[in-house]
Chains A and B, each alone.
Chain A
Amino acid sequence: MYLPDFEYHMPATIQEACALLAEKGQVAKVLAGGTDLLNKMKHGLVAPAVLISLKQLEQLSNIEYEEGKGVLIGARATHNAICNSKLLQEKYLSICEAAHHMANNQIRNVGTIGGNISNAVPSADLPPILMALDASITLVGTKGERVMALEEFFVGPGKTLLAPDEIIAQIVIPDQSCTGSTYIKFGLRRSGALAVVGVAVAVTMDGNVCKDARIVLGAVAPVPMRAPKAEAMIIGKAISDDLLEEVGVCASTECKPIDDIRGSAEYRRDMVRVFTKRALRKAINEGHV
């Protein structure tokens, strides 16, 4: 394993970075934490001739609140920066928890939220909870900026709507009306295991009645997916164990898992049932977002 040769750029502004991407074309790749990209390059799975590092774009690391917009997480924010952000801990503990259960400390120190999203791996841990909280992303390209719902961004494994000259600049989490949210990752050991199934939910409760719900499933389809039928099934209903079980069963019929070395499709499907139920219960009972 050895990194192949590549040309390295460290632009000072995001515009410069986009211009470089446009100029270099398909052979160029953005480099953030490199935990995914460099690994793939070492294994010969990809061989970009040009790497454009986001290292100098300090402003992309910010995590802040902007009135009227919501919480803005810069694409270069590392998983540990997210775990440790006071702002996020107060407003969206569920995102901190999702980041905390990723990988291991070393990876969390360098891996970024932007990389986790751009990678578009079905098992990625952050997209489900971000989607459950209705996050959108800001994409910056040579022609300017556009905002897109995260849910629409993913096309297939490793495929997104990111244009060749674009960079994810930030993730926007709008102000919430939900009363609880959570992400449960089911991996095959307590730490350092990728998700076999990940379930994120956000619920709006009024007493025992669920007014609104978003259910997002990870690692069980080519992209992180909403479970609309399961959502419809719980909205407007009083919560009971039987209902949660039914919602779980419904979500398990909606997902489209495959067999891989971590688990069979059959197992994953049933785990969607189990963890949809558990995630809903947790979000309802713990009552934090």
Chain B
Amino acid sequence: MGEKYAVIGKSVPKIDGRAKVTGQAKYTGDLKLPNLLVGKILTSPHAHARIISIDTTEAEKLPGVKAVITHKDVPTLKYGISPARWDESIFCSDKVRFVGDKVAAVAALDDETVYKALKLIKVDYEVLPAVFDPEEAIKEGAPQIHDEYARNINTEIHQNFGDVDKAFAEAHHLRTDRFVGNRTYQCPIEPHSAISIWEGGKLTVYSSTQSPHYFQHYIAREFGLKMGDVRVIKTYVGGGFGGKLEPTGLEFAGAVLSKITGRPVKMFYDRHEMFAHNRGRHKQIMEITTSVDKNGKITGVYANFMMDGGAYTSLGIATAYYAGAMLPLTYEFVNFKFDMIRAYTNLPACGAQRGHGAPQPRYAFECHLDNVAADLGMDPIELRLINARQPNTVTPNDFAVNSCELTECITKAKEISGWVQKKGNLPSGKGIGIGVGSFVSGAGYPIYRTNLPHASAIIKVHEDGTAATLYTGATDIGQGSDTVLCQMAAEAMGFRYENMKIVAADTETTPHDFGAYASRQTLMSGSAVKQAGEEVKGQMLELASEMMEVEVSDLDCRDSIVFSLSDPEKAMPFGEVAREFFVRKGPLVGKGSYAPPKLGGTFKGAAVGTSPAYSFAAQISEVEIDEETGEIDVKDVWDVHDCGMVINPGLLHAQVHGALYMGMGESIWEQVLFDDKGKILNPNLGEYRMPTAMDMPRITSELVESYEPAGPWGVKEVGEGATIPTMGCYANAIYDAMGIRVNSLPLSYEKVWRALKEKKEKEKA
């Protein structure tokens, strides 16, 4: 019993590992129910068009078709995940706004009939001029996408902290750079799907979701149902990365089809439709100006950004705010100005993708900072160390930072990567670069306004004490929250992890939780679970004190054994006490809930980016560039994280690897491409190139000692934070290798080749 903790801090096996690797785990698309119908949505072939008429008669006549619905058959109430802009409809009634916009839906006996029926629906369109570029979209006279939003401005932000003008006027050095990001898509391996069952007054939806709660909330709102009459059940989910946070349309259409037919309806998106539904990364156009003093201390930053939001809002307002809000978190500066326009375009709607609005601005800022370092003749790491955020500080935009080991992360990354020996000494074509980042451990405020606690949990001990079940609304989408929450429950109870069971993410059987986004669950759901576990333990020890005739204060419980602290020989199995508890007092249950303290300032948008705690990370990479082809070979990555206390090191490092994988894809390969009519050119995994195992570098994932007072046992996040530094880190390594700067993502082979060519031509001239 030498170790401080019995269960946490250990790489216990994933609770669902066996089910997943054996194929036993059932995803929504795998479920079969009696009388199940198959449904599918008909989408628009045009980027912008007026709907003149929709004729469904032929489709209805097709044998096997059970229902065909259009805007006439569904509620007209607009929806969206952001309450500030509800701009989506279940089906378009007047106009379609992108290739893939929802027009009608069919339910039929089987897949084949559904696809045939879709082809029989005749829609007459009057094609309208469309706009695909945010800079064009906001010009006078550009095609108007939503009548309510003049010049296609979806969100406009102007924030100003301190006195940037003064800082710039007094600058030792001032520099402006412009960078352009790219549209990427989450590409979860499991396609979105939903099974809707509308029976009597009750709607049940099995869904591939990151948040049963938000689904329940918005589905109930759309149909005017009571929350209690809508049950959302998450099945196993094959990844979300932000793309499954909001209802997809499958749930709405499926619900109506189920209501009409009186049968359960399964709906899904195929890979192509997933790309069209999107909600992936926004493309940002980022102009950054920074002033520094003679020591390299940042005195002011002006971020002037624009983003392509696509045809609808999705979570984009928050994305737009995040883009600026996270900048002054990583480095310390007090003068900060942020302007942002999120423009509507006739492209698929963008939303929250791992790291939300932060990764592209971080890429821009990390590159920009290396440029500043070069201007000053400083080592990029020196410049970062001078400016790195410190613990117990407050950002200009009012985020209170408790624990922060960024300096230690950078120092350690420098050490383990061999930076000092390598920097400036690598052979031609090889380079080393650094990028750092930081992220929230849970959003300080929920997506819609409510005073519900953010997380809650119930633990019920089995009658004979041999097992305990954790009931939580927390949502495991592959990242492993079911596992770490069970570890936390077991630790708090003094129970064995192996005997934990979990029922999660079912709005009817599990208590409320906002779900998997903003890297919130380890800290927030974990807090609720810890409280519930401690409540169980308290009740146990009280009874054990009677049974064992030992003072409660002298009792503890660990590894399912209750024992006397002063005389550990005096012990009793957890099960025996728990069983007796049930006999004497009924169910042994513990409850917990978590709400963050009031966070943040009062300015417009102050809520976005608030969090009880922030994670920090430094990444260094070594790349080799093929000077003739521009091919980028990432050789090594060293990632050092400050994520507080670690509950499960195996899962934590897996998150780092996965996040790095995504960051790497966005850095070098991934980009959704469109033709001049707004049609996606690469809606498949062949031409939308995510890295393969063969493209991955050697990864060294390390941690620094850290304890976060706001988190249970000192935890923070890792899921998203690890994606953030990567793009800047690679861009800087390429810069180091070749002396060239590619100012747009992805840093494709061809762009590197072109930049090298231009450099050579310049040198010749």
Contact = CB atoms under 8 A, between A and B. Distances in A.
Decide whether A and B are members of one complex. yes
A2 B272 contact: no
B416 interface: no
B750 A263 contact: yes
Given A189-B689, A189-B691, 12 more contacts: A1-B270, A2-B115, A188-B669, A188-B689, A188-B748, A189-B694, A189-B695, A190-B694, A192-B686, A261-B681, A267-B750, A270-B753
B695 A190 contact: yes
Contacts of A190: 692, 694-695
- Pick the most buried of A2, A193, A274: most chain B CB atoms within 10 A of its CB: A2
Interface in B733-763: 748-750, 753-754, 757
A1 B272 contact: yes
A271 interface: yes
A189 B629 contact: no
Given A1-B270, A2-B111, A261 B673 contact: yes
Given A186-B629, A188-B669, A267-B750, A194 B686 contact: yes
A274 B628 contact: yes
B415 interface: no
A184 to B, nearest CB: 11
Given A2-B112, A190-B694, A261 B687 contact: yes
B89 to A, nearest CB: 25
Contacts of B750: 263-264, 267
A146 B661 CA distance: 51
Interface in B522-566: none
Contact of B753 (A1, A262, A267): A267
Contacts of B628: 274
Main secondary structure of the interface of A (DSSP, over half): loop
Contacts of B270: 1
Contacts, number: 47
6 contacts: A1-B270, A186-B629, A192-B686, A193-B686, A261-B681, A270-B757
B411 interface: no
B682 interface: yes
Contacts of B669: 188-189
A9 to B, nearest CB: 21
A191 B685 CA distance: 12
Contacts of A261: 673, 681-682, 687
A261 B675 CA distance: 10
Interface string B666-709: 00010001000000011001110101111100000000000000
A1 B115 CA distance: 7
B694 A191 contact: yes
A190 B633 CA distance: 10
Nearest to A197: B629
A193 B689 contact: yes
A193 to B, nearest CB: 6
Given A188-B748, A189-B669, A261-B681, A274 B629 contact: yes
A157 B682 CA distance: 20
Interface in A156-195: 186, 188-194
Interface string B32-44: 0000000000000
A182 B692 CA distance: 24
A2 B40 CA distance: 12
B647 to A, nearest CB: 34
A43 to B, nearest CB: 8
